[in-house]
Amino acid sequence: MPRTEFTARFKARQQLLGTFVKTPTSHASEILGGAGFDFVVIDEEHAPIDRSATDQILLGCRANDIAGLVRVPSSMPSAIQSVLDCGADGVLVPHVASVEVARSVVAASRYRGGIRGFSNSPRAGGYGAAGMWAHIEAQDRDIAVLAMIEDREAIDAIEDILAVEGLDGIFIGRGDLTVSLGAKSAGDPAVKDAVARIMAAARNAGKPICIMVGAVSEIDAFRAEGRAPSSFRPIRLSCAPAPTGSAPSSMPPLHTETNTGHQHVRSKRPTRGPQCRRASQYSRPDGL
């Protein structure tokens, strides 16, 4: 899939495939692109990744035409603008617990109707090759904006958050949600009830939702809860160092946190590279 088509396909709720990158080098994103993945999420929140590392990882994304989203460390406009200027194809913003924060996240991600500071001199603007209004139009059209729903306060405001214009989708962070609710695990009834409410709201709003499944046993329940016109398919991928002479072995162990599996969706299985020993796919609810 061409990198520039990610947001349009995401909004159309087509099947895509992606995963997190947690090591500050360009190799993992380049390898994943070559292996057939559609996107990666660069983790600035829970990994040792700063702007310089993000810039390099996004360069790796472009080497193999894979979309690069960034989970920024906060909802601060400066954090969002930084990764978008570097050429990110979307942002995943943690702890969006109110409609006010959701609106501010969207505003920070958009030129028209927003507050994103203009510059076409970084990678996002082709280092000046894109004219002002051509750059503005392309960025406002092609950037995906996703909010992480992972706080008790967000549950009560979920319908209003989902109604924010310009918010393209959400991610349910069951790990942080479990902590916020004071539950023992993601399997606690309180967490399950919260997830069900969020899913129902997203389904009613017609917006895609991202969620990580921690076990095969969760598949059927999530699928039944999210019946509607499309589906997503999260994966869990176990990787080992590549054999001598093969592709670089700097891929991180992916999906080691219960709340960090981004939406991983695809219509077909990716080609397995030599560094991957196994990949088991978990279906996520249809139509979310």
Catalytic residues: 46
Kindly give, in sequence order, each residue whose CB lies less than 8 Å from that of residue 77, ignoring residues fewer than 6 positions away: 104, 107, 108, 115, 116
HEC secondary structure over the chain: CCHHHHHHHHHCCCCCCEEEECCCCCHHHHHHHHCCCCEEEEECCCCCCCHHHHHHHHHHHHHCCCEEEEECCCCCHHHHHHHHHCCCCEEEECCCCCHHHHHHHHHHHCCCCCCCCCCCCCHHHHHHCCCHHHHHHHHHHHCEEEEEECCHHHHHCHHHHHCCCCCCEEEECHHHHHHHHCCCCCCCHHHHHHHHHHHHHHHHHCCCEECCCCCHHHHHHHHHHCCCCCCCCCEEEEECCCCCCCCCCCCCCCCCCCCCCCCCCCCCCCCCCCCEEEEEECCCCCCC
